[in-house]
Amino acid sequence: MTLDKLADRLRRCREIVFFTGAGISTESGVPDFRSPGGIWTRYQPVYFEEFLRSEEARVRYWKMKRETIELYKNVKPNIGHHAIKTFEERGRLLGLITQNVDGLHRVAGVSEEKMVELHGTDRKVVCLGCEKEFDAQAIYEKISRDPTPPLCDRCGGFLKPATISFGQPMPVVAMRRAQELSQAAEIFIVVGSSLQVQPAASFPVIAKQGGAMLAIINRDPTPLDSLADFNHRGAIGEFFTTLQPLLTHA
């Protein structure tokens, strides 16, 4: 399928689902965790069970998260994030499923009711005991003054950014909603995901099995490229820059 044909399908469709991974945010200056310069090249990941049982692990975890949140102060949504918001404004976005925890889709203005953050968000802090939410910035500022892992002022439970760590169960509601969106999609567009992390990588397959047209936009090859009706291998910003004028054609 050519880009012109994809644009023609997009102009006529109101059941579009986007599925985004780290690659959509790298052009905003957010390093992929696994790539050179990413957080996992400098910190050993803290597994959820380790976070629960070890104060030393919690100290290490919060140090890593504080560095991440400092990075977020200087990054902004890019053309990819804004393009997805534009689909919503035109009434063509059925939903957005994202693996990202950077919150840039929210900053770009995508409605919360349209969005599923599969792995949560760094921009919220919650108590693992009573689920009370805390002002993230206030917690990060406290950590910068005192590295002692914070506790809930209501129940004494451990506080943690509202993200899914290794070994932590995936959120049931988010997974169900992502499956429903995948099954209902007429066009399912993967943007910036390696499609190697399960169970998230199963959603394009679910969409395809449900009859959706599948498009994959990514810098590198993915395991599902042969399943896709349209593939773009290259920069995401370049893709949307080329696509946008085609969407305005009659």
The identity of residue 52, as a single letter, is L
CB 161 within 8 A of CB 140: no
Residues marked as catalytic? 119
Which distant-in-sequence residues (6+ apart) come within 8 Å of 56 by Cβ? none
Please tell me the distance from the alpha carbon of residue 161 to that of residue 151, in angstroms, as a whole number.
Answer: 12
- CB contact at 8 A, 99 and 197: yes
**Token pair of 136, please?**
């993230």
Q: Which of 164, 171, 224 is nearest to 19 (CA)?
A: 224
> Can you give the length of the chain in residues?
250
Looking at the DSSP bridge assignments, the partners of residue 213 are 187
CA distance 133 to 118: 18
Contact 97, 17 (CB under 8 A): yes
